[in-house]
Amino acid sequence: MANVVVVGSQWGDEGKGKIVDWLSEQADIVVRFQGGHNAGHTLVVNGTTFKLSLLPSGVVRPGKLSVIGNGVVLDPYALVEEIERVSAQGVAITPDTLRIAENTTLILSLHRHLDELREGSNSGTKIGTTKRGIGPAYEDKVGRRAIRLMDLADLESLDGKIEGLLAHHNALRRGSGLPEIGAGTVRQELTRIAPRVLPYMDRVWALLEDKRREGKRILFEGAQGALLDVDHGTYPFVTSSNTVAAQAATGSGVGPGALDYVLGICKAYTTRVGQGPFPTEQDNDIGRRIGDRGREFGTVTGRRRRCGWFDAVLVRQTVRTSGIRGLALTKLDILDGFDEIQVCVGYRLHGRELDYLPASAAAQASVEPVYETIEGWRESTAGARSWAELPATAIKYVRRIEELVGCPVALLSTSPERDDTILVQNPFES
């Protein structure tokens, strides 16, 4: 039986929540493998809306095991708050239903303070982060000074690790004219939360291998989108982790052979939150029309998203960097009523034509989209559950996207409701 990886194939916010929820019903285990509580999924189950940030989408489904992998950076206080909020909605979350990798890096309050300081500074590049400490926590992980979940179980060795962490952070604070943080403050922060999170700790790499041998279906749930990948995205306007599909293996402790099918989620148009290049952005009435109809506001931040036409160049590139075998195309209904729809099929840069997004930040900011005009449709696609219910011109639009990105559409979503989905190919059976 196939194990499936779900990744965003644009800049995030593609509607992964609904698709992951739809797939999680067929899975036995759902694994989050990167990111933190800066990413959000909205799920609607039996009329109840769940807003998740750290918890895998499988937690709202009885009988599923949810796993937070080592590739995630974990704010333990945010986790406990989210568990309490979701539990109040009638979902039982216990160590029997949720496991967290023992080697997961922790986000502390000092990480949030540093994130806020940088984003509020008048110097340097503003990335448009959520100011939740994600980037600084990943920096400490790579710098080999991070405190990990397992460290909370060994309080005797915690003091030395705190000193090593503060040697770095207090130097930064002194340079910014801020008071130093005492080791006792950090120790108290950690010891207070330890009993609330340690019961969920596990050797996730071993757990997942055991489940694989039992023949269990595993769904690997990515956060954000491939264009925010720290290596393959629009650097430096990216997140601090790898968001491409290969990270599912690294961020959960399984070998790459465990990843059988990669499903890429993309909207029928394009959106982006925060700063950075966006070749097809429509900062005009068209963009506002798309944004209003699509309710394009961030699940976590509430920020209005930038909107634009579908960029086939970018999605074709992420199909390749993530090894995507099928696309889940979402929000087709938002394009209902347009007389004409533009699709970006290439770029121009200083008189040259390109069929890819260059890696240079200066070049990314300078590319001009080359558009192909496609006939729109007046009929409604909202709620369609079969190809027969779609206008012929809408089907032509979907087929043209498949041709341009070099990847078939496996699922087509026509509303936020989970059942308003046209299934072409079931990833778990491919």
Q: Is 41 a catalytic residue?
A: yes
How far apart CA 12 and CA 9 sit, in angstroms, is 7
From 21, 37, 41, 113, the catalytic residue? 41
Biggest CA-to-CA distance, the chain: 68
How far apart CA 163 and CA 144 sit, in angstroms, is 13
Q: Is 159 a catalytic residue?
A: no
Task: Name every residue whose Cβ is closer than 8 Å to that of residue 198 and which is 6 or more positions away in sequence.
Answer: 149, 152, 153
Q: Which two tokens stand for residue 187?
A: 């120790």
Task: Answer yes or no: are the C-beta atoms of 189 and 197 closer than 8 Å.
Answer: no
**Helix or strand run (H / E) with residue 362:** helix 361-366
Q: Which two tokens stand for residue 224?
A: 């954000």
Bridging pattern class, strands 421-423 and 409-413: antiparallel
Sheet strand arrangement including 409-413: 201-202, 98-101, 65-68, 29-32, 218-221, 4-8, 261-267, 326-330, 409-413, 421-423
How far apart CA 82 and CA 204 sit, in angstroms, is 21
Task: Name every residue whose Cβ is closer than 8 Å to that of residue 268 and which is 6 or more positions away in sequence.
Answer: 310, 329, 330, 331, 332, 334, 335, 397, 401
Task: Tell me how many degrees the CA angle 132-149-243 measures, rounded to the nearest 5.
Answer: 50
Distance of CA 341 to the CA centre of its chain: 27
Cβ count within 10 A of residue 361: 15
The amino acid at residue 298 is G
How far apart CA 68 and CA 33 sit, in angstroms, is 7
DSSP secondary structure letter of residue 425: -
Cβ count within 10 A of residue 218: 25
Distance of CA 2 to the CA centre of its chain: 22
From 13, 229, 311, 333, the catalytic residue? 13
Task: Tell me how many degrees the CA angle 157-158-160 measures, rounded to the nearest 5.
Answer: 75
Residues serving a catalytic function are 13, 41
